[in-house]
């Protein structure tokens, strides 16, 4: 079945489960399933948070372990993209130099600072929620919505390179973009409530527009690293909205 194949492709791409590595075209087609992987990752983080609190540890420690669990299962894929993007955009003088820095496996000052800030925001938002059930809902909502925007961004913003995974993947099918977007909107409406879900949706749209303008000005298009950075920012926006709600 095509749907099952797409789900396996999304799982192999977005997690570190031992599955066959997918090619670019199959990743693009499987974009509709990205939010489903986000649901599983968020649920894992919520489970870790609940188990930690049940052992008598503080919400802060539970939040740290929950975020660490999501990073472990994904192999810090999106965090790596965020760090590379911060290093490239902050340290390069020309688009070519920025892209060169983003391909360098070493991490620089901008990348370290970006990871510290984003990790702290995620942990702080979760710890402020406190309640295990509400924290799990917030995590699932954030991870679903953050991955739901990726196919749309890939569709709207051209790749910055002629090679690389993003270039090989190409533009996702409209059907994948639509399904992923619908899943993201549904998650925001159910997980946060319609009013605050609408507010979070507006924030995500604004974030995508800002990222699109920024990445076009900086390097002429999007890359896999940029998509990782966008996912992280979207995840944080939803978690902060949830923490203000709960």
| pTM for the predicted model, two decimal places | 0.95
Q: What is the pLDDT of residue 175?
A: 95
Tokens of 66: 């929950």
Check pLDDT > 80 for residue 245: no
Residue 168 has pLDDT above 80, yes or no: no
- As a whole number of angstroms, the distance between CA 105 and CA 195 comes to 42
Of the listed ranges 29-43, 117-131, 153-167, 171-185, the one predicted with least confidence? 153-167
> Per-residue confidence at 35, pLDDT binned at 50, 70, 90?
very high
Q: Could you tell me what percent of the chain has a pLDDT over 90?
A: 78
The DSSP call for residue 159 is: B
**In this structure, are residues 208 and 230 in contact, taking their beta carbons and an 8 Å threshold?**
yes
How far apart CA 85 and CA 36 sit, in angstroms, is 25
- CA dist., res. 118 & res. 130, Å (int): 19
Nearest to 35 by CA among 238, 211, 217: 238
- Give the whole-angstrom CA distance, residue 121 versus residue 224: 23
For residues 131-144, average pLDDT? 96
**How many Å apart are CA 6 and CA 180, to the nearest integer?**
13
Residue whose C-alpha is closest to residue 83's, from 57, 116, 53, 52: 116
Rounded to whole angstroms, the maximal C-alpha distance in the chain is 52
């Amino acid at each position: 079945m095509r749907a099952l194949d797409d789900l396996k492709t999304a799982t192999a791409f977005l997690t570190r489960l031992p599955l066959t590595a997918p090619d670019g075209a199959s990743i693009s087609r499987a974009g509709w399933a990205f939010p489903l992987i986000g649901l599983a990752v968020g649920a894992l983080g919520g489970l870790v948070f609940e188990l930690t609190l049940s052992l008598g540890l503080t919400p802060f420690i539970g939040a740290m372990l929950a975020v660490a669990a999501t990073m472990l299962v994904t192999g810090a894929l999106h965090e790596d993209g965020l760090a590379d993007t911060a290093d490239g955009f902050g340290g390069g003088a020309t688009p070519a130099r920025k892209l060169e820095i983003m391909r360098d496996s070493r991490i620089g000052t901008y990348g370290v600072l970006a990871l510290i800030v984003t990790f702290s925001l995620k942990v702080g938002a979760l710890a402020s929620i406190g309640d295990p059930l509400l924290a799990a809902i917030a995590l699932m909502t954030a991870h679903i919505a953050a991955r739901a925007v990726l196919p749309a961004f890939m569709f709207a913003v051209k790749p910055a390179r002629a090679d690389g995974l993003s270039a090989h993947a190409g533009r996702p099918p409209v059907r994948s973009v639509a399904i992923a977007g619908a899943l993201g909107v549904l998650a925001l409406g159910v997980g946060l409530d319609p009013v605050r879900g609408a507010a979070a949706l507006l924030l995500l749209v604004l974030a995508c527009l800002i990222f699109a303008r920024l990445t076009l000005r900086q390097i002429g298009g999007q890359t896999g690293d940029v998509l990782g950075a966008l996912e992280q920012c979207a995840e944080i926006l939803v978690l902060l909205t949830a923490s203000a709600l709960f």
